[in-house]
Structure 1
Amino acid sequence: MKKNLLNYKGLYGDNNQRDFGDFVHHELLATRSKLYDWEINEHLHTDLFQIFMISSGEGVLIQDTKKISLKAPCILLIPTNTFHGFEFQSDVTGEVFTISEQFIETIFKNTPLILLELNKAKQYSFDSNNFNLNDFIYLKNKIIQAISENNRYKQISLQSLFQLFFIGLHHLDNAVEDQKETSNNRTLGYFHAFQKLIKRTLPESKLIKEYAQELRITPVHLNRVCHTLVQKTALQVVHEYGITEAKKYLLYSSYSISEISYLLHFKDPAYFSRLFKKQTGQSPNAFRSNNSPENRN
């Protein structure tokens, strides 16, 4: 097992540091998958969001200790900082769009509800004759065309096309809670900014009042924002992120429990172990043993 997480600063296999800005990239699904014999090891991209459009064939998404079947036609969204891997059949066809987190935030800066939805990996499955699928295929082709062009309106075109693409997916998603739909943009904006602050700083390194100060609201207001949108306190949101990060290190690195505890700025290993067991029902050692890649079917 590698000491550290497999975290690519660029595309899979590319570790070159760069400023992605409004980065948008397209390639055929086979282009990179074939190089790795159709198996992509579990990894993450810190600053890149990916869209997989699978046109034919099948595959498996490996995420959070689970194997999830992918059957064409489907669209798969992989948010930034999400550990994932793939096993594809050799006859699979499709496209992969990779876009920077900054690009996503630019096009939806006034629509934080969609930013909130894009925080989780999600698969959309279609029948081959579904008229909604035809709309996404049309937008996909227009995006590919816009990427290949070189004119002064390229960035505006791409922003508009991706807006239509993601809004189309938003309309398909029936799981959005009424509370979130009716929450005002300011509440959603605070929550998204809170999530960014947690991600930017190690989760246990700040007090809730310090997060609230950076957002220029009170701790009571921050708790109300979190409860409205996810029915959790601000501290529970921070703990949830910390435990999610800890799971990655437990499964995909050889760091000890103590090293992970200090790496994520928990008070001490004993506190980390208690919190982890309270959140997951298992001790860190038991979670690592029961869910390690070597023990999966």
Structure 2
Amino acid sequence: MLKTNFVQSLYTRSNTHRQYDGYLAFLPEGERQLFPVALASQRIFQTSDFVWIECKENGIDTPGFTTIKVGDYSLWLHLHFIGQGKLKLTESLMMSSGQAHCYYLNEREPELFLDEGKSWFLILGVSGKHLDSLMIDYPRLKELMPDGNQRPESYLGYTPIQSKLYNVLASLRRYEFHSFGTAFQLANWNLRLFQQLFQDLKPNQPAIDHSDTLLYQKAVMYIRRHYDDEDMSVAKIAEAMNVSPRKLSRSFQGKSFTVVGMILEYRLMDARESLIHSDDSLAGIAFALNFACPKHFARAFKKRFGIGPNEFRAQRRKKESFVKRSYPQA
């Protein structure tokens, strides 16, 4: 049996009434003594040769650590689909959305940290007795593996999860659970996973944590596309980014604008262009850009540009009229 409650204490709300929709959804819920918390967010399957663990949680309220008991499994593949986290090996390894990692363990029990918000990952552990055979079948794995009979624990490499791998994963959704046959089905599926991952592994760890910077850049891009949406909010952007509102707000710390301030900035810049290039009324502009009311729009505009929208438009029209009189077209 697996020797630990793998994600015990990570989740603070129960999901036992939500239908599980991960790649291993065909598996029955784990035994209660293995997973006493958030049963519907986890699936596990293990034999003496390998173990599969999948967790898919739509909202972790409180971030935290859990220890992975490695047991007899020494070669590990970690596919992180959604969310942010860290795996503490000899040093902390950043886990970001869309990355696959491979590492080798002896007896060390690494700690997995998951940040708040959405999280979805799938882990495969392979028994050490198969390691030599795997290195014969997959030369790339042998290149990355440390030499010697007493191999040190080590990080072997990572690769972005490509679309072809997602297609392979999607095939799991067609499986049905059979008490006898599932072990053979998944053993065969492991070979497909090895074939996809080992050939693409890069020997170095991904860059040190730039997750907040990447999140900030992605959020700004999203705001740029959707700032005029009626329901634009911190919560909506966070959901689109698969993070918690608090993590999203944290990525904006030290920047010129908060999340709300960035939304307002894009709306005001759009409003400014409308005042220059259109005859739309203030009420029409305020309504189109989802300000609460024309008065709120006028106050925000004056605070940003130091002049009210009516005065701004009048000044622009006066300046344009002067230019036309001074430089008449031939």
Structure with the higher fraction of residues in helix conformation? 1
TMscore range, shorter length = 0.3 to 0.5
Q: TM-score, normalised by structure 1?
A: 0.35
Structure having greater relative contact order (Cα 8 Å, sep ≥ 6): 1
Q: TM-score, normalised by structure 2?
A: 0.32
